[in-house]
Amino acid sequence: MGKRKIMNEGNLENMVLPAASDVLGMAVKMLGADRIMVKCQDGKERLCRVRGKLKRRVWIREGDIVLVSPWDFQSDKRGDIFWRYRKNQSEWLRNKGYLEM
């Protein structure tokens, strides 16, 4: 078997902006495995899981700004994390008015 190509944040140059159904949030508490409690901008706290594509590529810590996609059912309580913003990207979001935390 060959080596697996692992991407790091340096290779992820494109920044993803929130779509209509997506919510920005801040990681509040790490719950183990791939689950994180996230305080979202719409005023709700959601139990979110890290999407499989990000699970081994990006490390998420408390205080990080993440992009959450709420589930179709239990949309007030659960969601998927599919992007983590770096510090300079979160400052850019604050300056442009996307982030109000």
| Alpha carbon distance 52, 83 (integer Å) | 11
Confidence (pLDDT) at 78:
92
- Predicted confidence (pLDDT) at residue 6 exceeds the cutoff of 60: no
CA distance 57 to 63: 18
**Residues in CB range of 35: below 8 A, 6 or more apart:** 47, 48, 49, 50
pLDDT single digits (tens) 57-95? 888 889 999 999 998 888 788 999 988 988 888 888 888
Task: Tell me how far the alpha carbon of residue 52 is from its chain's centroid.
Answer: 12
Q: Tell me what the pLDDT averaged over the chain comes to.
A: 83
What is the per-residue pLDDT for 36?
A: 93
Going along the chain from its start, the domains and CATH numbers come out as 20-93 (2.40.50.140)
